[in-house]
Chains A and B, each alone.
Chain A
């Protein structure tokens, strides 16, 4: 079963169509990259996949649950789906560890356990040594690692990443992709939106969006590679 499944999804803002019938699926252990020019619908797609927005028509399912029928979307967003955005959204007055703990505490996990989970997540991304520092004291690459740790903490089955390499230099950007790839190989499903071909190339499959439609995908290459 696919972790994320989108069927004939459309999204219209006023009378401006952003997505016009997109169908795609991401399975466990799969990294799917979505590329396309600005205005092609990439970010809309990601927001719909994460339950941050609702489709005008069509359906979005995460782990078999149609998001239209999920009563507590906020809980699903906190517990099942991890987000990594370009502008990180780390809270400057909290340490790296506290930032990572936050979604778990919001979910009612007691502080001691949330801290243990946060430390484990920071270790996984190689950022355990900065656990006690504040975002302002970290390099761009370290901040991005912390943001990924926050996206990973708990049992996330789906990771959504919107231009996670932002303004990072290419070597640090590669490290971030290596990290996402490892999470995938450990069983997560990752949907990556990027306009940088070099990072999209880390994916199993690359989908091109144009004018709100899937223009093409490298799916055949994946099959022949396996």
Chain B
């Protein structure tokens, strides 16, 4: 995914200036994806080069406004209509660590699993606290929910590891 499509999505709601895009992007993603203003302007100029946005004058304080073009709307529609693939995700260090703990001699695998579980639970607690702090921002809440689901999947996998290893020992 790209910042491109994020900015296009925000611009589909009406013309905006650069700093405004940055603030709205971070608000929508629950500040999980901080952007610097340089990235915003670089992306805007590429979008302009590709004909997906066009400068649309200035607001009353002289800030340049950008507007989405018809081509930009088509690009955005295509993006929303295309499912995200499961490709090219970086290897998961935790999976490798547990696999190696099982393969190696003399490693307390149950101890490794327990330590990881407590660490993941603390992350889950922090995410949940952050979610409780979200007053009204459905986008932000859903981003946090996504991270909660991922952390939860990791917990479940750790439970599974523990159960499988216990069975094998018995």
Interface residues of A (CB under 8 A from B): 37, 178, 181, 196-198, 200-203, 206, 208, 215-216, 218, 221, 225
In the bound complex, do residue B122 and residue A202 qualify as a contact, i.e. CB atoms below 8 Å apart? no
- Output the least CB separation between B74 and chain A (Å): 33
Q: Which of A178, A215, A218, A225 contacts B121 (CB 8 A)?
A: A218
- Output the least CB separation between B119 and chain A (Å): 9
- Output the least CB separation between A178 and chain B (Å): 7
Q: Which of A181, A197, A208, A215 contacts B132 (CB 8 A)?
A: A181
Contacts of B120 in A (CB 8 A): 197
Contacts of A198 in B (CB 8 A): 124, 128, 148-149, 152
In the bound complex, do residue B114 and residue A206 qualify as a contact, i.e. CB atoms below 8 Å apart? no
Give Cα distance in the complex from A200 to B128, angstroms.
10
A to B contact number (C-beta, < 8 Å): 47
Contacts of B121 in A (CB 8 A): 197, 200-201, 206, 218
- Output the least CB separation between B132 and chain A (Å): 7
Stretch at the interface among B32-40, B46-54, B101-109, B155-163: B155-163
In the bound complex, do residue A197 and residue B151 qualify as a contact, i.e. CB atoms below 8 Å apart? yes
The 17 sampled A-B contact pairs (Cβ below 8 Å) are: A37-B159, A178-B132, A181-B132, A197-B120, A197-B124, A197-B156, A198-B148, A201-B125, A202-B132, A206-B121, A208-B114, A208-B118, A216-B114, A218-B121, A218-B122, A218-B125, A221-B125
| Closest 7 A/B residue pairs (Cβ) | A201-B124, A197-B155, A201-B128, A221-B122, A198-B152, A201-B125, A197-B152
- Output the least CB separation between A184 and chain B (Å): 12
- Output the least CB separation between A185 and chain B (Å): 10
Give Cα distance in the complex from A178 to B155, angstroms.
21
The reply on B117 being an interface residue by CB < 8 A is yes
